[in-house]
Structure 1
Amino acid sequence: MIFVLAKAIPKDEEACEKIVEFAQDLIENSRKEDGNIDYNLYSNTCDGTLLFVEQWESKEILGAHLQTEHFLTFGKNIADLVAAELDIAVYEAEATDL
């Protein structure tokens, strides 16, 4: 299983609202993709930071997601709304017994 944590820092409150609005289409369509396990957006109300938390079945499926129209459109739509490039971390996990 692949986990993605993608942090976006909006330029201001208005930019934050627009990013969240654009994210709705991204989230809805990403959840429909084969191999997507979970796709959510969380907001830190203290500083406005947005955090996408995603789960995918494999790196190959994640790679295909990165080429989808909804993903590419989202990136174009928010390019001028973020204070810095998105901070993206990708982790590979496997199940273990407790």
Structure 2
Amino acid sequence: MINIASKTDTLVRPEAVTGTPLHAPVSVPQRSIDTERLSSASQEILQAALADQPEVRPEIVDHGQRLAVDGNYPPKEIIRRLSEMLVTSVDYTEQAEA
């Protein structure tokens, strides 16, 4: 389990010290819903770039096939580390039943 070094609920917030909330400087643009969305032109460019990509990359398929028959893949160290992570991870299903 990952231990949290600092908790956000124990931090002192600027408004607690000054009595007023801090605001971003004027030079920093404020985000709006409009700036979060892709323009239709950007979407079209991305769609065209995606359409130009091959659906299957033969070099990646070949690499995967070589790894699938390799008796040393994945390395034993990787399997050992993954096993440790699984054993030491928290089982949230047990907590939900309690």
Which is higher, the Rg of structure 1 or of structure 2? 2
Higher strand share: 1
Higher helix share: 2
Greater RCO, 1 or 2 (C-alpha within 8 Å, sep 6+): 1
TM-score, shorter chain, exceeding 0.5? no
TM-score by structure 2 length?
0.26
